[in-house]
Amino acid sequence: MAFVTWLNRHYEERGPLKWLAFLLELLAAVALFLLMCLTCIDVVGRYFFSRPLIGATELTEIGLSFVIFAAMPVITWRGGHIVVDLIDSYVPSVVLKLLAWFSTILIATSFYFVAVRIFAFGARNLRRGIVTDFLFIPTGYVIQSIAVLSWIAAVGLVLCTIVGTLRPNKEQP
C-alpha cells in the first residue's frame, strides 16, 4: 500500500492540515519511543551496573514536553478533549453551534495569549543563558517550541471549526 493511500485512510483532515497532523503525531511517537529507550538504558545502567545515565531526568522532561505539546494541536482540532454535554438535548442546535463557536474563540484565544507569555519566557531564558544542570541544554528553545505548538493548536482549532461549520453533513465537535 502506498504511503499516501495509508495517510488518506487514517487521517480525516484535509490538505496541509493532514500532513501537519501526521508530522506532529510522528514527532510525538518518536519522542515517546526515545523516552522508552532512554528509560530502559537508565534502568539497566542504574540497577545492573550502578551507573545511571547522566541527564536522563532532563531528557525525560524535555521528551515529555514534546510528546504532550506535539499531540496537543491534533487532539484539540479533532475535538478529542473531554466534553460535558449536559445541555445538548435541551438546547436547539443553533444555540449549540453558537456555544461551539464561543468555546472555540475562548480556547484559541487562551492558547494564543498563553503561548505569547511562554515564548517571552523562553526568550528571557535564552538571553540569560539558562541551561539544564547536567547536559547544558538551553531551556529557552524547548520552551519556545511549546509556544509554537500552542500557536499551531490555536490556528488549527479555528480552521477546523470553520470547516466543520461549513460542512452540513459533518457533526460539530
Distance of CA 44 to the CA centre of its chain: 31
The pLDDT, as a whole number, for residue 169 is 54
Q: Is residue 141 within 8 Å of 149, Cβ to Cβ?
A: no
The pLDDT of residue 170 = 46
Q: Tell me the three cell numbers of residue 30.
A: 518518536
For the chain, 173 residues long, the average pLDDT of each consecutive 10-residue run is 86 84 94 96 94 93 94 87 83 86 90 96 96 94 96 88 70 48
Are 152 and 20 in contact by the 8 Å Cβ rule? The answer is yes
Q: Is 15 left (phi over 0), alpha (psi -120 to 50) or beta?
A: left
CA distances from 43 to 88, 114, 159, 162 (A): 49, 36, 44, 47
pLDDT at position 15: 80
